[in-house]
Amino acid sequence: MQELNNKQIIRFVFIAIVGALTAFNGFQSTTKLVSLYPRQHPKSAAFAGKKFEGIQKILAGNKYIAYYTDQNLDNPGPLMELQQAQYTLAPVILDPDSLDHRFILINCVDVSKAIARMKEIGAKPLTANNMGIILAERPQVTP
Protein backbone atom coordinates (compact mmCIF):
# COMPACT_ATOMS: atom_id res chain seq x y z
CA MET A 1 0.00 0.00 0.00
CA GLN A 2 2.86 2.31 0.98
CA GLU A 3 4.62 1.54 -2.32
CA LEU A 4 1.44 2.28 -4.25
CA ASN A 5 1.11 5.66 -2.55
CA ASN A 6 4.71 6.57 -3.28
CA LYS A 7 4.23 5.62 -6.91
CA GLN A 8 1.11 7.73 -7.15
CA ILE A 9 2.81 10.69 -5.53
CA ILE A 10 5.76 10.47 -7.92
CA ARG A 11 3.42 10.29 -10.90
CA PHE A 12 1.38 13.18 -9.63
CA VAL A 13 4.47 15.33 -9.11
CA PHE A 14 5.78 14.46 -12.58
CA ILE A 15 2.49 15.33 -14.27
CA ALA A 16 2.18 18.50 -12.20
CA ILE A 17 5.65 19.63 -13.31
CA VAL A 18 4.86 18.73 -16.92
CA GLY A 19 1.55 20.61 -16.70
CA ALA A 20 3.18 23.68 -15.17
CA LEU A 21 5.93 23.60 -17.79
CA THR A 22 3.34 23.30 -20.55
CA ALA A 23 1.42 26.31 -19.27
CA PHE A 24 4.62 28.34 -18.93
CA ASN A 25 6.00 27.25 -22.32
CA GLY A 26 2.69 27.82 -24.08
CA PHE A 27 2.24 31.29 -22.62
CA GLN A 28 5.85 32.33 -23.18
CA SER A 29 6.07 30.99 -26.76
CA THR A 30 2.75 32.38 -27.90
CA THR A 31 3.21 35.84 -26.39
CA LYS A 32 6.77 36.08 -27.71
CA LEU A 33 5.81 34.99 -31.21
CA VAL A 34 2.67 37.11 -31.35
CA SER A 35 4.64 40.18 -30.22
CA LEU A 36 7.26 39.42 -32.89
CA TYR A 37 4.69 39.01 -35.62
CA PRO A 38 4.06 42.64 -36.66
CA ARG A 39 7.78 43.49 -36.61
CA GLN A 40 9.07 40.30 -38.23
CA HIS A 41 6.46 39.80 -40.88
CA PRO A 42 8.04 42.14 -43.46
CA LYS A 43 11.33 40.32 -42.99
CA SER A 44 9.84 37.07 -44.21
CA ALA A 45 8.71 38.79 -47.39
CA ALA A 46 12.28 39.97 -47.97
CA PHE A 47 13.51 36.50 -48.93
CA ALA A 48 16.57 37.33 -51.03
CA GLY A 49 15.72 34.53 -53.45
CA LYS A 50 12.85 36.69 -54.75
CA LYS A 51 15.38 39.05 -56.31
CA PHE A 52 16.24 36.33 -58.80
CA GLU A 53 12.71 35.46 -59.87
CA GLY A 54 11.66 36.06 -63.45
CA ILE A 55 14.79 34.84 -65.21
CA GLN A 56 14.12 31.12 -64.96
CA LYS A 57 12.59 30.99 -68.44
CA ILE A 58 15.63 32.56 -70.07
CA LEU A 59 17.90 30.04 -68.41
CA ALA A 60 15.82 26.96 -69.25
CA GLY A 61 17.96 24.22 -70.76
CA ASN A 62 21.22 25.46 -69.25
CA LYS A 63 22.93 23.21 -66.74
CA TYR A 64 25.38 25.78 -65.36
CA ILE A 65 25.48 29.55 -65.21
CA ALA A 66 28.09 31.75 -63.57
CA TYR A 67 27.31 33.72 -60.42
CA TYR A 68 29.29 36.90 -59.83
CA THR A 69 29.19 39.10 -56.75
CA ASP A 70 31.47 41.82 -55.43
CA GLN A 71 30.87 40.53 -51.89
CA ASN A 72 32.95 37.97 -50.01
CA LEU A 73 31.16 34.61 -50.12
CA ASP A 74 32.86 33.57 -46.90
CA ASN A 75 30.50 35.96 -45.11
CA PRO A 76 27.05 34.63 -44.16
CA GLY A 77 25.05 37.42 -45.88
CA PRO A 78 26.46 37.06 -49.42
CA LEU A 79 26.56 33.27 -49.04
CA MET A 80 22.90 33.30 -48.06
CA GLU A 81 22.07 35.30 -51.21
CA LEU A 82 23.94 32.75 -53.33
CA GLN A 83 22.10 29.86 -51.66
CA GLN A 84 18.72 31.55 -52.05
CA ALA A 85 19.48 32.33 -55.69
CA GLN A 86 20.34 28.66 -56.16
CA TYR A 87 17.04 27.69 -54.53
CA THR A 88 15.08 30.03 -56.79
CA LEU A 89 16.84 29.09 -60.02
CA ALA A 90 17.04 25.30 -59.49
CA PRO A 91 17.46 23.09 -61.53
CA VAL A 92 20.03 25.47 -63.07
CA ILE A 93 23.32 25.22 -61.15
CA LEU A 94 25.09 28.44 -60.15
CA ASP A 95 28.88 28.44 -60.39
CA PRO A 96 30.36 31.13 -58.13
CA ASP A 97 33.95 30.07 -58.89
CA SER A 98 34.16 30.60 -62.66
CA LEU A 99 32.80 33.08 -65.18
CA ASP A 100 33.46 30.68 -68.03
CA HIS A 101 29.77 30.16 -68.86
CA ARG A 102 27.44 31.64 -71.42
CA PHE A 103 25.15 33.27 -68.84
CA ILE A 104 26.39 35.24 -65.84
CA LEU A 105 24.14 36.20 -62.98
CA ILE A 106 25.52 39.40 -61.50
CA ASN A 107 24.57 40.42 -57.97
CA CYS A 108 26.74 43.41 -57.09
CA VAL A 109 26.28 46.08 -54.46
CA ASP A 110 28.45 48.43 -56.55
CA VAL A 111 26.99 48.64 -60.09
CA SER A 112 30.20 50.17 -61.50
CA LYS A 113 32.05 46.97 -60.52
CA ALA A 114 29.42 44.90 -62.32
CA ILE A 115 29.79 47.02 -65.48
CA ALA A 116 33.59 46.86 -65.33
CA ARG A 117 33.52 43.10 -64.94
CA MET A 118 31.13 42.69 -67.87
CA LYS A 119 33.39 44.79 -70.09
CA GLU A 120 36.41 42.81 -68.98
CA ILE A 121 34.95 39.47 -70.02
CA GLY A 122 33.01 40.71 -73.05
CA ALA A 123 29.55 40.10 -71.64
CA LYS A 124 26.40 42.01 -72.60
CA PRO A 125 23.53 42.65 -70.20
CA LEU A 126 20.49 40.65 -71.20
CA THR A 127 18.08 41.73 -68.53
CA ALA A 128 18.14 43.46 -65.17
CA ASN A 129 15.75 44.29 -62.38
CA ASN A 130 15.41 47.13 -59.90
CA MET A 131 16.97 45.02 -57.14
CA GLY A 132 20.45 45.18 -58.66
CA ILE A 133 20.38 41.82 -60.40
CA ILE A 134 21.80 41.67 -63.92
CA LEU A 135 21.74 38.67 -66.19
CA ALA A 136 24.56 38.99 -68.71
CA GLU A 137 25.38 36.86 -71.70
CA ARG A 138 28.60 35.99 -73.46
CA PRO A 139 27.33 34.85 -76.89
CA GLN A 140 30.79 33.67 -77.85
CA VAL A 141 30.73 31.01 -75.11
CA THR A 142 28.74 27.89 -75.89
CA PRO A 143 26.98 26.31 -72.93
Partner 1 sequence: MIYLLPLTISLILGLLIIKTALNNKVPGALLTFFLSGIIGLGSSAILTFSSFVIFNQLSAVWVIALHLGIITALGWYLKQKNQLCSLPLLKTLTWQDGAAFTILAAICIPTIIHASLYPYGGWDAWGTWNMKARFLFLGGTSWSNMFDPMLWRDQINYPFLLPLMHVWLWCFGSAPTPLVPLIMTCLITFLSAGVLFGILKEITGKFYMVLIPACLFTNLAVAIQASSQYSDLLVATFLLTALGLFALFNLTKNAGYLILMGATLGMMGFTKAEGMGLLAITGIASSILIMTTFKDICKNALIKLWSATIAAAIPLLLFVFIYAPRKVVVFKNGLTAPDHPLTWDRFSYFMSFMGHDLINNRWQGLWILPVIALMVAGRKSLNQTVRLFPVVLLANICFSLSMFYINTHYDIVWWMNTSFERVALDILPALFCWATLALFQE
Is residue 54 part of the contact set for partner 1 (CB under 8 A)? Answer: no
Give burial (CB, 10 Å; 0-12/13-18/19+) of 15. exposed
Q: Using the rule CB under 8 A, is 131 a contact of partner 1?
A: no
Do 79 and 69 contact (CB within 8 A), yes or no?
no
Q: Nearest distance from residue 99's CB to partner 1, in Å?
A: 14
Runs of H (alpha helix) within the chain: 2-45, 56-59, 76-89, 111-121
Does 24 sit near partner 1 (CB under 8 A)? yes
109 Ramachandran zone, left/alpha/beta (phi>0; psi -120 to 50): alpha
Query: Can you tell me which of 1, 2, 3, 41 binds partner 1, judged by CB under 8 A?
Result: 41
CB atoms under 10 Å from CB of 48, counted, come to 18
The residue (of 62 and 70) whose beta carbon lies closer to partner 1 is 62
Cβ proximity to partner 1: between 47 and 110 the closer is 47
Question: Could you list the residues that contact partner 1 (CB under 8 A)?
Answer: 10-11, 14-15, 17-19, 21-22, 24-26, 28-30, 32-34, 36-37, 40-41, 43-44, 47, 49, 63-64, 79-80, 83-84, 86-87, 90-91, 93, 95
